[in-house]
Copies of this chain bind each other. A is one copy, B any other.
Amino acid sequence: MHEDVLRDVSSLFRGASAACLDGLLRRTIEHRVAPGTVLFDQAELPNFQIVLVAGSLQLFGRSGTQREVLIEVVRAPDLVIPAAVMSASPYLLQARAPEASHLLLIEADAFREAVAAEPGLAQAVIATLARQFRRMVRQAKSLKLQSSTQRVGCYLLALSERQGTPGQAHLPYEKHIIASELGMTRESFSRALASLEPAGLRVEGQVIAILDRDRLAAVAQPDPLIDPDARDDGPDASSPVLSAGAAPLHRRS
């Protein structure tokens, strides 16, 4: 696996020395999972630091045997909840792969030791934790400050931007999952979409056409301090913490 996988995750580990990474890789299991695979459940203690190399993971929160809501989505390349691994605390979420994904499993103890031993790796973990924390803060603000319809509108705006298609947004999952991510029911999500049609929206299955971006923005009132920002969203955003004294591991040829 070595060369190509390392390149894929180099943005995560660019602060770590090659020697350290080699040592870590020896205690690493490469893993490919099919759609629907559950990586771990709520309340379990982390056995591995999972590194998402390709694909994505959905993180669900569950209440009793009742409902189950999407709290967060992890997109490659990223670390999967380093907060649980580093604090050796039970997972608060369940992780499921919505698509075929490619993972590295690093023994939790080995990972913690490597982070303690290798300052560059610690920097990378800090950057990841900080980014993920800020995403959660944005979500909390969104849930407390925006209406359902606003959240839907902002979600679509952000989605189309992330997908590089200003005129449309392709919903990445079933609508009921997106609804739970946005803190509402599928029915409310459906109605919110319908209510946004006057604002220049057309629903065509999983594809939402955005006919008038400005009008949608006027209704949804996106806020740069709430709704996703490129800076916080991708691990490849240029982040000062990574450049501080860290030599790049790989050139992206």
Contacts and interface: CB of A to CB of B under 8 A. Distances in A.
Interface string A99-126: 0000000000000110111010011011
A246 to B, nearest CB: 8
Interface stretch (A50-58, A82-90, A193-201): A82-90
Nearest to A184: B144
Interface residues of A toward B: which range?
Answer: 35 or more
Contacts of A131: 83, 87
Contact of A63 (B123, B125, B223): B223
B90 A241 contact: no
Interface of A: 42-43, 61-64, 66-67, 69, 71-72, 82-84, 86-90, 92-93, 112-113, 115-117, 119, 122-123, 125-127, 129-134, 136-141, 143-146, 180, 183, 221, 223, 225-226, 231-232, 239-241, 244-245
A240 B89 CA distance: 9
